[in-house]
Amino acid sequence: MAGRDHIRALLRPESVAVIGASKDPRKPGHVLLRNIRDGRFAGRLYAINPSASEIAGQPCFPSIANVPELVDQAVIVLRRERVLQAVESCASVGVKAIVIVTAGFGEADEWGRREEAKLRELAVERGLAVIGPNTIGLVTMGGDYRGSFVPFLGWTDGPTAIVAQTGIYAGAVALEMMMQSSQRLGIHVSIDIGNRVSVDELELLEVLAADRQIEVLGFYLESFANGRAFLRLAAEVKRSKPIVVLKPGRTMEGAKASMSHTGSLAEDDSVVDQLLGEHGLIRAADEEEFLSILKAFSFAPLPRGDRVAVVTYSGALGVMATDQLLSRGLEIATLDADTTKRIKGILPDWQTVRNPVDLWAGVDADPAETLRVGFSSVLADPNVDQVLGLLLAVPPADFQGFRQSLAEIRHGAGDKPLHLVMAGGLRQYWTDAVDGLGVPVHSSIRQAARAMGAATEYVQRRHLLPSAHMESE
Amino acid sequence: MAGRDHIRALLRPESVAVIGASKDPRKPGHVLLRNIRDGRFAGRLYAINPSASEIAGQPCFPSIANVPELVDQAVIVLRRERVLQAVESCASVGVKAIVIVTAGFGEADEWGRREEAKLRELAVERGLAVIGPNTIGLVTMGGDYRGSFVPFLGWTDGPTAIVAQTGIYAGAVALEMMMQSSQRLGIHVSIDIGNRVSVDELELLEVLAADRQIEVLGFYLESFANGRAFLRLAAEVKRSKPIVVLKPGRTMEGAKASMSHTGSLAEDDSVVDQLLGEHGLIRAADEEEFLSILKAFSFAPLPRGDRVAVVTYSGALGVMATDQLLSRGLEIATLDADTTKRIKGILPDWQTVRNPVDLWAGVDADPAETLRVGFSSVLADPNVDQVLGLLLAVPPADFQGFRQSLAEIRHGAGDKPLHLVMAGGLRQYWTDAVDGLGVPVHSSIRQAARAMGAATEYVQRRHLLPSAHMESE
């Protein structure tokens, strides 16, 4: 385990040196330097390259030993043969945190595995906080430190932290997220820990759990470094912060493909599944679910219970939503008589009002009033804990002031979650329109149901701790 | 069953009257008239309204009896109290096909159910081809006839037909599809049959199966009008045209929500599931799968077998894909020695090449060459039947000529299917870039695996016919 100050130097460096900085603007060693510079990084930034005096406007020195201060963090972008020596140099001058971008170690050949063992030994001996080898790096402080060669043009800070035991996954997720026109997951910390030579998910869980700006934690793990300790700590942390785990390897071939290290935890996926559940962690089945669930926790209030009202512009979508919600352990709420009475007022006399509530017949006469009364009625219903809205973003359903109406509906809903799924040609326009209102918009009914189910399960089980006999197993 | 010429009048009308056409441009009775006019409809179009002589530039008459020709099809947009009388008028002058847009019948109250029974009796007695009540209508002839109040600005013709037993679902799917910037499913026929008073899915299956422009059939059904006959015919049709069925009601509550008519088929969903499978039909679990599977059949060649090569820019995505493909019954191909040798040429020496093939380490040096060699090698491999590509649309992976490279890869692949999933900020840009190349781009790994699994299952089972004992059950 790296020391406290070493982890601080990894996540909140005050000075950074890029070893292997390049003058070629297409090379990662250049892009990385420029990314840190072009972000809002407030610390000092140095380039290390024996054949330049400045790169991208940053002072350049021939080696880490020549830098006029003791830097917190070094980012290494060198050929693999030169990495070990660079790490030794860093250690000898007192650098605390090291990001090894270079690949070709434990995931590669025999030479790489031997070299990685030496890196690990060195890191442990000196208490260094190392991520990589084989990582695209990390972005922390809500985007103020962009220690990665992926060029993030913008960044939205927020309550989420993502840790991935892989080279590029967390970075790719973050990049995609930050280029969306709306519904960006606000990310405070995003780390690809790569081959995991020193800093592991357990250490990061401990640090991130203590960070008051972080409210939700997402882990992509192919194996556990120390499964029992991670689960024990996670079971504590999840009482105040939901933890979502994306762990592939459900199939034997999948497990083979991940070349997971033989951890202390059983390889049998059903055991993994059971243990995650018993410790109150939420397991995402795939990358879409992972993001939908994180979105639910980041954007919406926690639900009080499992009774869902579905408000829909299409009967068919309502039927499909019923199937999906029930299969996620949610209930279809029985609406209060007052609610059905209020909704009847905006629909033709002949229409029976039941849950799912089909609003389509009212849309033609007055789309704004139909939306307002339809949603505010079910959100005010004492028999309803959360609402799923299925909107067809099509004429004649569209109207001026859609965002304002949704803002009022959301405001009037108090602490009840409202999730939306949009279909129809104006889908992106409507999705953008509700941005920032605290309303998650999911890509499909399946994702919405999964996210609502996960949030509900979390609320029901957050105070459970695994029983003593399980702990002592 | 309606007569042949009556169904022809529904799908390919030569003259149409809109009963209840409105001068108010916001009303469906106006929008509908304008949609037909603004499409490429080559037939004659009349408005019916007692208080106008023309609407939206179309000649207007006080009643259907005053129109100077016998029209093929009437579209009715009237208050529900006036619908039955309008249908009677149509029948008495010899109109063959009727689209009843108006809702408030069988799905509503006691009056509606009684009135619908009368409509059904009349339709059967006169052999009329009626869709609705409670439908947004239909679009046929590849967009040349747009008999719906949903304003489709564009339409892409293609090999798909969609039939939905609902008011609005097929129309909403079509609208969303036609507003996408790329990856539009080409739709030749889209029909919401509504409350199904005369024309049903069996009759449409028969007609659409015989249409040489239609190669793939998608049905959204909440219940079967005549389950056994439909399955028997579908088992024949599927030998040349894949049939994808989206049938909700997996849960009891879902079944309740669909208020399905009591059909001859068992209500038990597992029985439905088994029967669909035994007859070689493909069942989609939700609306996303429905579209992904239709896309696979529309865009890509049929696979020869179940051996998949995964080519990925992210190891994590490769691991997740392995899980998803195996859970859909596909195999992870063992690559030929020549293939691994060719790919080794574009990757660092230390990298082991196996399936999933992780190309990331080659992207930095030469993204275009990495893409070309990576994909063309696995597509040429005799041990590989189909390929799933997982691309990170991020710098430094992007390059000029991405579309041209993909076109060459696709061309060189012959009749092997290539499916893609894109992640990263340039995702939409890359997705648009490959449009029209015969490469389905799916929204997630899960959708891709499901679509590839469905196409493979289809190929393996298209020539099976249900055994005699099943037929006689």
pLDDT digits (tens, 9 = 90+) for B220-243: 998 888 889 999 999 999 999 999
A15: alpha, beta or left? (left if phi > 0; alpha if psi -120 to 50): beta
- Closest Cβ–Cβ partner in A31, A249, A445 for B286: A445
Q: Parallel, antiparallel, or unpaired: how do β-strands B137-140 and B145-148 relate?
A: antiparallel
CA B365 – CA B396 distance, rounded (Å): 9
The residues that bridge with A99 in the sheet, in sequence order, are A75, A131
pLDDT 10s digits, B338-366: 999 999 999 998 888 999 999 988 987 89
**Under DSSP, is residue A175 helix (H, G, I), strand (E, B) or coil?**
helix
Give the residue from A238, A245, A298, A275 showing the smallest Cα distance to A463: A238
Starting at the earlier edge strand, list the strands of the sheet with A137-140. A145-148, A137-140, A187-192, A160-164, A216-220, A243-246, A282-284
B12 CB contacts (<8 Å, ≥6 apart)? B140, B141, B145
Q: Closest CB to A323: pick one of B251, B319, B323.
A: B251
Residues in B closer than 8 angstroms to A348, CB to CB, are 103-104, 108
Q: Is A247 left (phi over 0), alpha (psi -120 to 50) or beta?
A: beta
Alpha helices in A248-386 (DSSP H): 252-257, 269-278, 287-299, 315-327, 337-344, 360-363, 367-380
pLDDT of residue B130: 97
Alpha-carbon separation of residue A49 from A54, A197, B180 (angstroms): 9, 25, 48
Spell out, as residue ranges, where chain A has pLDDT lower than 70: 1, 250-267, 466-473
pLDDT for residue B1: 64
Question: What is the separation of C-alpha B393 from the centre of its chain, rounded to a whole number of angstroms?
Answer: 28
Q: Per-residue pLDDT averaged across B245-258, rounded?
A: 73
Token pair listed for B416: 């092997």
Q: Where are the beta strands (DSSP E) in A393-472?
A: 418-423, 441-442
Q: Which of B70, B109, B102 is nearest to B84 (CA)?
A: B102
pLDDT band at B3 (very low <50, low <70, confident <90, very high): confident
Q: What is the pLDDT of residue A471?
A: 46
User: Is B364 near chain A, with CB under 8 Å?
Assistant: yes
Q: How far is CA A132 from CA A80, A107, B113, in A?
A: 12, 11, 68
Q: A165, A288, A320, A364: which to substitute to probe chain B, counting the most B Cβ within 10 Å?
A: A320
- Distance from C-alpha of A186 to C-alpha of B330, rounded to nearest angstrom: 37
Higher-scoring residue by pLDDT: B46, A226 = B46
Least confident of A150-154, B157-161, B307-311: A150-154
B447, amino acid identity: Q
Hey, which residues 224-243 in chain B have their CB within 8 Å of chain A? none
Chain B partners within 8 Å of A320 (Cβ): 248, 254, 286-287
Reported as type and span, the H/E element at residue B272 is: helix B269-278
Determine the pLDDT at residue A472.
41
* For residue B248, cis peptide bond before it (omega within 30 degrees of 0): no
Chain center to CA of B137: 16
CA distance B244 to A403: 37
Contact of A377 with A311, CB cutoff 8 Å: no
**CB spacing of B287 vs A320 below 8 angstroms:** yes
- pLDDT score recorded for residue B263: 34
Kindly give the residue spans of alpha helices, DSSP state H, lying in A238-314: 252-257, 269-278, 287-299
pTM of the model: 0.85
d(CA A304, CA A460): 9
- The reply to whether residue A444 touches residue B286, judged by beta carbons under 8 angstroms, is yes
In B, which residues are within 8 Å of A283 by CB distance? none
Q: Is the ipTM of this complex over 0.95?
A: no
Q: Which of B 126-155 lie inside 8 A of A, CB atoms?
A: 150-151
Residue A65 is given by DSSP the state G
Contact B222 A316 (CB under 8 A): yes
Compute the half-sphere exposure of residue B274: CA atoms within 13 Å on the CB side of its CA: 8
Continuous segment of H or E residues that includes residue A430: helix A427-433
B383-399 mean pLDDT: 90
What's B92-103 look like in SS3? HHCCCEEEECCC
Q: Do the beta carbons of residue A379 and residue A388 sit within 8 Å? A: no
Q: A286 CB near a chain B CB, below 8 Å?
A: yes
